[in-house]
Amino acid sequence: MAPVHYDVRDISLLFVEDELEARDMLSRMLGMNYPGLTLYVAENGASGLELFRQFRPEIVMTDINMPVMNGIAMAREIKGDDPEAVIVAVTAHSDTTYLLSAIEIGIHHYVLKPVNYLELFSVLDKILEKIMLQRLVQEQQERIRRRELQLSEAQKLTHLGSWEWDVIKGQAVWSDELYRILGLDPETSPASHRGFLKRVHPGDRDSLEKAVQQAFDNLQPVSSHYFRIVRPDGTVRIVRGQLEAVFDAGKIVSMIGTCHDVTEQKWAEAALRASEQRFYRIFQATPDLLSITSLKDGKYLEVNEAFLRVLGYQRSEITGRSLEELCVWADEGELREVVDQLEQAGEVRNQEVRFRTKDGRELTGLVSAEPIEINGNTFILTLFKDITERKRLEVDRARLAAIVDSSDDAILATDVAGTIISWNAGAEKMFGYAAKEMRGIHLSFLAPPERKDELSVLHQSVRKQEQVTHFDMVHS
């Protein structure tokens, strides 16, 4: 599998597995697929818990059935220490008891042995992507928080330029801070109404003059007006202006106002918008089906490209229409179950459901959902992971396994070294050995001493995908 493309050098993973061979193999695969990932390895739950408390890795991947302390007990301790810890269970156990125990303590990622590396790395890729997105959000929030702190300090230090314009005499007075905002020297640039307008960006000059005129005509203050200032060196600053008229005997005699340099605040807002746009691009690029629907009426606000491609819709056919109108859910009962769980638990994680495409095909997938806030309104973010092909392969494998198990012929399988790894009931009847006795035994054990070399040559031919003839053997 090709390595992921994001930087995992600052991310660590704890792998807990009691079987040495499995531990070594998966450790090597993790190192190859995620170069730079810091990997801690433990042979049981107790050692794993100790390493977690020492290094605090972001991800924990663990077997369940282990000596000293099993994976469930270790995961419960880890969740007690850090409820946000991400835990992936990699185990041969698939019964309901283990699954319920794992879900109860917050393990939402479950990979069965023998490990399908593509499936495992797909799970890890999504976890790593989520961690990277969370870090990006935290970085953006920290940048914005620092900007807000800077603005707060600026207000404390009265970084507000003030001015006064004597309408009768036509004279103006600027504060030192206003000179700084305008980029002018008090010694060489006398204050004047015309001089101020000269520094206003040409694109904003007319709207500012209209605001001043309205203050004259309506005898009302201008509470807030944004415009740009162009300094002599070409630097552009964004200013929020306020002004108010001073009256004497019912006539305007002067105007006073302030100019607040809000450039940094506007930059922060622009950075936030850019961040939102980036998240939108990630939303659209995600390979799983994503949708945002209104909690109030179930209407689609947005879906990603995978949603449209897989289900066969155009965007105009989706947005603004409700779940009931489109019938994307193949079973209304499954939809109600998800909605009920969402209302009761506040989230849904990896629940198997069926979706229906526009042309009527049914897809099986794992759905996850949670509420999100957008502009003060509550929406539901839903992710559908298509597992239709995986389910088909599982059925095929089960059918093949049933055929093998029910056959009266001796059917066995070996690894590339010739070690027996499976042994059906027909082989048990024919050779008289139980499957548990033969797993791990070399194939040559089945041949008479004088024919072991012949069987080894035959095995080598099979490895090379060469055509082989029958190997007749008398078993007594």
For position 207, which CATH number holds?
Answer: 3.30.450.20
The DSSP output letter for 449 is G
Which pLDDT does position 151 carry in this prediction?
A: 45
- In this predicted structure, the answer to whether residue 200 has a pLDDT above a threshold of 50 is yes
pLDDT tier, 28 (very low <50, low <70, confident <90, very high otherwise): very high
24 and 115 both lie in a single domain: yes
Cα 270 to chain center, whole Å? 23
Pairing of strands 160-166, 251-261: antiparallel
183 and 258 both lie in a single domain: yes
pTM over 0.85: no
- Any residues with CB less than 8 A from the CB of 379 and at least 6 apart, and which? 292, 293, 294, 295, 301, 371, 372, 373
- Any residues with CB less than 8 A from the CB of 445 and at least 6 apart, and which? 438
Is the residue at 170 inside a domain? yes
167 and 110 both lie in a single domain: no
Joined together, the tokens standing for residue 86 give 């991400």
Of residues 101 and 168, more confidently modeled:
168
Which pLDDT does position 375 carry in this prediction?
A: 66
Q: Which helix (H) or strand (E) holds 317?
A: helix 315-318
pLDDT tier, 104 (very low <50, low <70, confident <90, very high otherwise): confident
Amino acid found at 8: V
- Supply the DSSP string of 253-301, one letter for each residue: EEEEEEEEE-HHHHHHHHHHHHHHHHHHHHHHH-SSEEEEEETTT-BEE
User: For the segment 106-155, what is each residue's pLDDT rounded down to a tens digit?
Assistant: 787 888 888 888 888 999 999 998 888 888 888 888 887 776 555 445 54
User: For the segment 322-369, what is each residue's pLDDT rounded down to a tens digit?
Assistant: 888 888 898 989 999 998 998 899 999 999 999 999 999 999 999 999
165 and 259 both lie in a single domain: yes
Which pLDDT does position 313 carry in this prediction?
A: 93
342 and 249 both lie in a single domain: no
Which pLDDT does position 273 carry in this prediction?
A: 65
- In this predicted structure, the answer to whether residue 48 has a pLDDT above a threshold of 70 is yes
Which pLDDT does position 86 carry in this prediction?
A: 92
User: On the CB side of 250, how many CA atoms lie within 13 Å of its CA?
Assistant: 0
Domain end, chosen from 267, 299, 329, is at 267
Q: Look at the block and give the residue holding tokens 């029910």.
A: 406
For 349, phi then psi, to 5°, come to -130, 120
The DSSP output letter for 4 is P
Of residues 57 and 223, more confidently modeled:
57
Mean per-residue pLDDT, 66-92 = 89
The DSSP output letter for 17 is -
Q: What percent of the chain has pLDDT over 70?
A: 87
Is the residue at 293 inside a domain? yes
Q: Look at the block and give the residue holding tokens 């704890």.
A: 14
255 and 205 both lie in a single domain: yes
Check: CB of residue 232 under 8 Å from CB of residue 179.
no
Is the residue at 27 inside a domain? yes
Check: CB of residue 240 under 8 Å from CB of residue 259.
yes
Angle, helices 71-81/96-104, rounded to nearest 10 degrees? 10
296 and 259 both lie in a single domain: no
Which pLDDT does position 4 carry in this prediction?
A: 44
Pairing of strands 12-16, 38-42: parallel
Three-point CA angle 143, 148, 151, nearest 5°? 130
Lowest model confidence (mean pLDDT) among 83-87, 169-173, 222-226: 222-226
Domain end, chosen from 215, 235, 267, is at 267
Is the residue at 79 inside a domain? yes
Q: SS3 helix, strand, coil % of the chain, rounded to 5?
A: 45, 25, 30
Extended strands (E) in 311-468? 348-356, 362-374, 377-386, 412-414, 420-423
130 and 62 both lie in a single domain: yes
Is the residue at 470 inside a domain? no
For 452, phi then psi, to 5°, come to -60, -40
Extended strands (E) in 32-132? 38-42, 59-62, 86-91, 109-112
Is the residue at 272 inside a domain? no
Domain that holds residue 235: 158-267
Chain mean pLDDT for the chain: 82
Is the residue at 273 inside a domain? no
User: For the segment 385-435, what is each residue's pLDDT rounded down to a tens digit?
Assistant: 998 888 888 777 777 777 777 777 777 778 777 888 888 887 788 888 888
Which pLDDT does position 473 carry in this prediction?
A: 61
Domain end, chosen from 236, 267, 298, is at 267
For 445, phi then psi, to 5°, come to -60, -30
- Any residues with CB less than 8 A from the CB of 137 and at least 6 apart, and which? 275
Contacts 24+ apart (CB under 8 A), 43-46: 43/16, 43/17, 43/18, 44/16, 44/18, 44/68, 44/69, 45/16, 45/69, 45/70, 45/71, 45/73, 45/74, 46/74
386 and 412 both lie in a single domain: no
- In this predicted structure, the answer to whether residue 76 has a pLDDT above a threshold of 50 is yes
Mean per-residue pLDDT, 437-445 = 82
Other C-beta atoms lying within 10 Å of the C-beta of residue 331: 13
Could you give the number of structural domains in the chain?
A: 4
Q: What percent of the chain has pLDDT over 90?
A: 21
412 and 377 both lie in a single domain: no
3-state secondary structure of 442: strand
355 and 424 both lie in a single domain: no
Amino acid found at 386: D
103 and 206 both lie in a single domain: no
Q: In angstroms, rounded to a whole number, what is the distance separating the alpha carbons of residues 440 and 419?
A: 6
3-state secondary structure of 82: coil
Pairing of strands 160-166, 109-112: unpaired
Q: Which of 376, 380, 365, 217 is CA-nearest to residue 295?
A: 380
Q: In angstroms, rounded to a whole number, what is the distance separating the alpha carbons of residues 257 and 172?
A: 11
pLDDT tier, 156 (very low <50, low <70, confident <90, very high otherwise): very low
Is the residue at 201 inside a domain? yes
